């Protein structure tokens, strides 16, 4: 007998035909649908239903030179758009990349004005769009450090956050004389956002926040604030755009870090080579970006964020595979042809970093970033 | 779009509304279209393979029937295809099996031949060529559900060869029996004639059946999202790097995978059968509390029933079944299970898993005969309590699952060889235990969710096993039944692991 109750006939008595049944189901599902949507829209931990005021406030504080603590889920592309509109002086050294480049701090730039404009889950489209935002400033940055991830040179539908800045990306494509008709303006973005009101994953996160709020552990939604502190028990976005992770992440034990590095390897064991696949179209698009930056008399530096030694050796052992090997070989040859400096490597040994320089499988600590940029400082770039 | 995605719910209700809104003669195209749409939603690349198998087996069935009527007019209803039909049937089966063989077994066969040639030191250039072919064939991705729809089609051909009158002349209805959307990805491997009879008869809406279907669907989602998908990361963490673990994590992964694969596939089968009921169809029961089995014979009457009966009817019986001498019987059992293992995956680990189960059944058979002989002499023989047999069967089944899950035979032997290493130290204190569990990525939340869920399901299955489940709920007032359903749905929404893992059996 299966694990379900055989209902009595009287539970749906009066329900005749399939559409009566469908109505009967929908009426009974209504409390669930209402509960889910009230919790998700009410708590809204990612600020999906509240408009851009959250991002605008963060940008204003950063533009004023303040560190901003306790930023919750937000659209960091929007922050970049508002920030570039408010900045009085554009940075001389600009870092573009994903969260893997967020630990690069202003120290590496010496006395020059520095800003780290890396955004989470960045794709090549983000690098193009944010580069466009800063190239429009006058004067444009003297140096742009491009943090290139192995997934940047392959088209993917998995990373869609860049679509917030699709207009800016179109401008960059147009600079390079590329067709923008197939670019990513997302007509359905708003509706997809509204659909999150019924997303089980978003409901779970909202419920977790709600419970934490009701039990007094933490507010349901993050309320950010300006601070002089650079380290806190919550994440702090420094005035230079780089990120200081929360205390729990900073104090993560080497054993826990090692476990996470291994977990990443296991999860991506059979997929990592697909992630790091090279596509000629994307290579050409990336080279266009580099060339457009150079055309604006900007010096381009390529930064390759290393992987944790445990993760890297796991793939070597299990798959006889260098993570991002083909991508790195391509980037180095492309850079050599243009006399562009490459800092770091996906290979931790080549990058000169060790296990203690990592938060997890693919995010270096500030110490790791500093080791990699020591080479840059020594070269006097 | 998978069965656990919110978009599937929308698809399901849209299909439901369209299906029942149309007159009966238009309902089969709706279901067929839904099946093809669902299949295409996972990627269009392998849709032609589904169409190819459908068309070739349909045509083969028509040819077999014509040939059979001409030659064996008086042979209908035979348990085996009559002699005159054997070669035409073999040809039809070969054509039907060709895509499965190409996509699933080319790499395995060529790789194994290359290894054998290399090991024997013969024909090095041919071995290198085979190895290269094997490598290239690994780039072919296995079309989703191919093992399931191919086996459905093969059983249709065999049945038509046995009784030409069972041929289906209507291509659309035949295509629907192969591509019925609740079963398209991972079964149950419904006998096409069971489904064809329901399609031809036409389905009338039955609200009790529909209610049962909805409840079964919710239970399936619970098994999959709350239990199987919460076990998955723990099991994957250990199996992904076995060398990094000893003792308790290996032991927990060993039993964890037993539970994961059961709740994953039983959950899928509940969703498939529950969905079918919404459209008025009764699907084949695929799982009947298999871990309560007190023997391996009983286990295979309870586990993946649609596949085990398929192999029984179309392989084991034609080989002679148990109507032969003891040695030949043992060979029949072993051959059936090794082939069943290879059906699951083209690797020696799966063959070994099948051989283990064959070995268990043969051992059980000889043990049973021996105890019968002893009982015949002494009349009494001490016997173990029933739960002890269940635990024994569960434990040995779990050991066999190691070969099913491990990437290689060496890995499986490594796990079994190190499962007791250091376990005393890992259990010596709460801190040591917590530290060990954290290496598996087991959080307090996951532990609590799994503990409560598994306890709840265990109680429910014990009640079902005793036949008390239906009467228990029948005696409850309506509000309690409604509250139970809201609690079930609420728990799925609150603690289900959404968007993390596809169903394990989709890979077969």
pLDDT tens-digit readout, B115-134: 887 777 776 777 677 667 66
Give the mean model confidence (pLDDT) for residues B287-293: 95
Burial (Cβ within 10 Å: 0-12, 13-18, ≥19) of residue B28: buried
Of B67, B329, B344, B357, which is the active-site residue? Answer: B344
Contact B270 A269 (CB under 8 A): no
3-state secondary structure of A237: strand
- Per the listing, tokens 């997929």 go with A271
Domain count, chain A: 1
Contact B486 A207 (CB under 8 A): no
Q: What is the DSSP letter of B349?
A: H
Q: Kindly report the nearest CA distance between residue B481 and chain A, in angstroms.
A: 9
Q: Is the pLDDT of residue B505 over 70?
A: no
* Residue partners of A349: CB distance under 8 A and separation at least 6: A309, A312
Give the separation between CA B406 and CA A221, rounded to whole angstroms: 43
In a domain, A319, yes or no: yes
B43 part of contact set with chain A, CB < 8 Å: no
Contact A12 B211 (CB under 8 A): yes
B170 is catalytic: no
Q: Check residue A190 and give its pLDDT.
A: 72
Is B403 within 8 Å of B354 (Cβ atoms)?
no
Range in A76-90, A164-178, A291-305, B417-431 the model is least confident about:
B417-431
What confidence category does residue B103 fall into, taking pLDDT thresholds of 50, 70 and 90? confident
Is B299 within 8 Å of B397 (Cβ atoms)?
yes
Structure tokens at A365: 């600590």
| Residue range(s) defining the domain that contains residue A96 | 74-191+247-378
Task: Quote the mean pLDDT of chain B.
Answer: 88
Q: Check residue B187 and give its pLDDT.
A: 75
Q: Check residue A288 and give its pLDDT.
A: 95
Structure tokens at B85: 């039909």
Q: Kindly report the nearest CA distance between residue A256 and chain B, in angstroms.
A: 8
What confidence category does residue B381 fall into, taking pLDDT thresholds of 50, 70 and 90? low
Range in A196-210, B393-407, B480-494 the model is least confident about:
A196-210
Q: Is the pLDDT of residue A231 over 90?
A: no
Give DSSP secondary structure letters for B61-128: HHHHHHHHHHH-TT-TT-SS--GGGHHHHHHHHHHHHHHHIIIIIHHHHHHHHHHHHHHHT--HHHHH
Strands A93-96, A236-237: pairing is: unpaired
If one compares B472 and B385, the residue with the highest pLDDT of the two is B472
B20 part of contact set with chain A, CB < 8 Å: yes
Contact B494 A207 (CB under 8 A): yes
Chain centre distance of CA B288: 13
If one compares B139 and B164, the residue with the highest pLDDT of the two is B164
- Reference A212, options A201, A202, A222; nearest CA is A222
Q: Kindly report the nearest CA distance between residue A12 and chain B, in angstroms.
A: 8
B240 part of contact set with chain A, CB < 8 Å: yes
In a domain, A36, yes or no: no
In a domain, A360, yes or no: yes
pLDDT above 70 coverage of chain A, percent: 92
In a domain, A45, yes or no: no
Give the separation between CA A263 and CA B249, rounded to whole angstroms: 14
If one compares B212 and B373, the residue with the highest pLDDT of the two is B212
Contact B495 A9 (CB under 8 A): no
Reported as a single tens digit per residue, the pLDDT across A157-201 is 788 888 889 889 999 999 988 877 656 556 676 777 788 888 888
If one compares A180 and B286, the residue with the highest pLDDT of the two is B286
Q: Kindly report the nearest CA distance between residue B54 and chain A, in angstroms.
A: 31
In a domain, A323, yes or no: yes
Q: What is the DSSP letter of B225?
A: I
Is B442 within 8 Å of B451 (Cβ atoms)?
no
In a domain, A210, yes or no: no
Give which of B470, B493, B497 to mutate to test A binding, by max A Cβ within 10 Å: B493
Q: Check residue B75 and give its pLDDT.
A: 46
Q: How many CA atoms lie within 13 A of A303 on its CB side?
A: 32
Is B246 within 8 Å of B202 (Cβ atoms)?
no
Give the mean model confidence (pLDDT) for residues A88-101: 93
pLDDT above 90 coverage of chain B, percent: 58
Angle at A192 between CA A186 and CA A193, to 5 degrees: 105
Q: How long is chain A? A: 381
In a domain, A30, yes or no: no
Chain B residue with the nearest C-alpha to that of A317: B241
Q: Is the pLDDT of residue A13 over 60?
A: no
- Per the listing, tokens 């010596």 go with B428
Backbone angles phi, psi at B422, to 5 degrees: 70, 10
> A139 vs A58, A63, A97, A299, B299, CA distance in Å?
24, 17, 21, 13, 75
Q: Check residue B423 and give its pLDDT.
A: 85
Q: Is the pLDDT of residue A222 over 90?
A: no
Peptide bond into B188 cis (omega under 30): yes
Q: Check residue B382 and give its pLDDT.
A: 67
Chain A residue with the nearest C-alpha to that of B225: A200
Q: Is the pLDDT of residue B274 over 90?
A: yes
The beta strand positions in A34-172, using DSSP E, are 67-69, 93-96, 114-116, 143-147
Structure tokens at A315: 């793939």
The beta strand positions in chain A, using DSSP E, are 67-69, 93-96, 114-116, 143-147, 225-227, 236-237, 243-244, 299-304, 341-344
Is B206 within 8 Å of B280 (Cβ atoms)?
yes
Contact A19 B20 (CB under 8 A): yes
> A276 vs A60, A202, A287, A315, CA distance in Å?
37, 29, 17, 13
B364 part of contact set with chain A, CB < 8 Å: no
What confidence category does residue A228 fall into, taking pLDDT thresholds of 50, 70 and 90? confident
Q: Measured between beta carbons, which residues in chain B are less than 8 angstroms from residue A16?
A: 207
Structure tokens at B51: 């169409």
3-state secondary structure of B364: helix
Dihedral, B205, B210, B212, B216 alpha carbons, nearest 10: 140
Chain centre distance of CA A368: 19
In a domain, A139, yes or no: yes
pLDDT above 70 coverage of chain B, percent: 92
Find the CATH number of the domain harbouring A155.
Answer: 3.40.50.1110
3-state secondary structure of A187: coil
- Reference B149, options B182, B110, B105, B108; nearest CA is B182
């Amino acid at each position: 007998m299966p694990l379900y109750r055989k209902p009595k006939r009287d539970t749906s008595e009066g329900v005749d035909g399939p559409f009566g049944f469908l109505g009967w189901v929908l009426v009974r599902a209504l409390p669930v649908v209402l509960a889910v949507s009230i919790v998700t829209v009410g708590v809204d931990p990612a600020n999906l239903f509240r408009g851009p005021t959250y991002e605008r406030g963060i940008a204003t504080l950063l533009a004023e030179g303040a560190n901003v603590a306790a930023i919750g889920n937000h659209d960091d592309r929007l922050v970049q758009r508002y920030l570039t509109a408010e900045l009085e002086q554009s940075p001389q050294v600009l870092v573009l990349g994903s969260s893997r480049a967020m630990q690069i701090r202003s120290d590496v730039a010496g006395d020059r004005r520095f800003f780290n404009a890396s955004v989470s889950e960045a794709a090549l489209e983000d690098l193009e769009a944010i580069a466009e935002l800063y190239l429009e400033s006058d004067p444009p940055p003297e140096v742009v450090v491009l943090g290139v991830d192995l997934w940047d040179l392959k088209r993917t539908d998995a990373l869609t956050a860049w679509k917030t800045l699709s207009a800016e990306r179109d401008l960059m494509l147009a600079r390079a004389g590329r067709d923008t008709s197939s670019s990513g303006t997302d007509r359905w973005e708003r509706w997809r956002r509204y659909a999150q009101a019924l997303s089980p994953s978003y409901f779970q996160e909202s419920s977790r926040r709600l419970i934490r709020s009701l039990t007094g552990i933490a507010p349901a939604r993050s309320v950010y604030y300006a601070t002089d502190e650079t380290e806190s028990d919550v994440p702090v976005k420094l005035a230079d755009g780089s990120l200081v992770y929360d205390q729990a992440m900073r104090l993560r034990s080497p054993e826990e870090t090692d476990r996470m590095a291994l977990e990443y390897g296991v999860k991506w064991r059979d997929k990592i080579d697909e992630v790091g696949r090279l596509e000629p179209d994307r290579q050409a698009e990336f080279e266009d970006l580099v060339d457009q930056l150079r055309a604006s008399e900007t010096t381009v530096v390529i930064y390759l964020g290393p992987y944790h030694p445990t993760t890297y050796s796991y793939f070597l052992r299990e798959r006889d595979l260098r993570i991002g090997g083909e991508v790195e070989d391509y980037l180095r040859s492309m850079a050599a042809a243009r006399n562009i400096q490459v800092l770091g490597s996906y290979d931790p040994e080549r990058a000169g970093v060790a296990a203690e320089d990592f938060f997890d499988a693919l995010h270096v600590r500030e110490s790791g970033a500093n080791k990699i940029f020591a080479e840059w400082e020594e070269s006097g770039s | 779009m998978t069965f656990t995605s919110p978009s599937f719910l929308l698809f399901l209700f849209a299909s439901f509304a369209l299906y029942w809104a149309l007159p009966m003669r238009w309902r089969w195209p709706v279901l067929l279209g839904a099946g093809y749409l669902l299949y295409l939603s996972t990627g269009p690349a392998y849709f032609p393979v589904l169409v190819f198998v459908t068309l070739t087996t349909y045509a083969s069935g028509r040819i077999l029937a014509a040939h059979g009527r001409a030659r064996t007019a008086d042979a209908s209803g035979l348990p085996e295809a009559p002699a005159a039909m054997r070669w035409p049937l073999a040809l039809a089966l070969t054509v039907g099996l060709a895509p499965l063989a190409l996509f699933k077994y080319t790499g395995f066969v060529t790789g194994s031949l290359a290894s054998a040639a290399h090991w024997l030191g013969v024909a090095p250039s041919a071995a290198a060529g085979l190895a290269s072919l094997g490598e290239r064939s690994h780039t072919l991705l296995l079309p989703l559900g191919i093992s399931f729809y191919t086996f459905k089609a093969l059983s249709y051909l065999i049945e038509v060869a046995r009784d030409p009158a069972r041929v289906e002349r209507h291509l659309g209805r035949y295509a629907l029996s192969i591509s019925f959307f609740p079963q398209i990805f991972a079964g149950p491997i419904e006998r096409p004639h069971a489904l064809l009879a329901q399609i031809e008869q036409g389905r009338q809406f039955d609200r009790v059946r529909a209610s049962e279907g909805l409840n079964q669907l919710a239970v399936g989602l619970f098994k999959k999202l709350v239990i199987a998908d919460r076990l998955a990361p723990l099991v994957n963490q250990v199996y992904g790097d076995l060398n990094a673990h000893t003792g308790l994590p290996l032991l927990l992964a060993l039993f964890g995978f037993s539970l994961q694969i059961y709740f994953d596939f039983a959950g899928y089968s509940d969703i498939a059968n529950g969905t079918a009921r919404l459209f008025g169809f009764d699907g084949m029961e695929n799982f009947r509390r298999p871990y309560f089995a007190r023997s391996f014979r009983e286990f295979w009457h309870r586990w993946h029933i649609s596949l085990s009966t398929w192999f029984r009817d179309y392989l084991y019986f034609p080989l002679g079944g148990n109507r032969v001498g003891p040695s030949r019987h043992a060979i029949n059992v072993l051959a059936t299970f090794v082939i069943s293992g290879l059906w699951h995956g083209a690797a020696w680990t799966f063959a070994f898993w099948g051989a283990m189960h064959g070995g268990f059944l043969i051992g059980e058979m000889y043990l049973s005969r021996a105890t019968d002989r002893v009982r015949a002499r002494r009349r009494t023989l001490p016997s173990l309590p029933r739960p002890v047999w269940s635990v024994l069967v569960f434990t040995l089944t779990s050991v066999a699952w190691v070969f099913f899950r491990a990437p290689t035979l060496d890995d499986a032997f490594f796990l079994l060889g190190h499962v007791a290493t250091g376990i005393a130290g890992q259990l010596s204190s709460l801190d040591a235990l917590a530290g060990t569990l954290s290496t598996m990525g087991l959080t307090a939340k996951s532990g609590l969710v799994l503990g409560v869920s598994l306890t709840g399901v265990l109680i429910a299955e014990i009640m079902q096993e005793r036949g008390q489940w239906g009467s228990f709920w029948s005696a409850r007032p309506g509000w309690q039944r409604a509250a139970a359903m809201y609690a079930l749905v609420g728990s799925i929404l609150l603690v289900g692991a959404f968007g993390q893992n596809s169903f394990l059996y989709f890979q077969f």
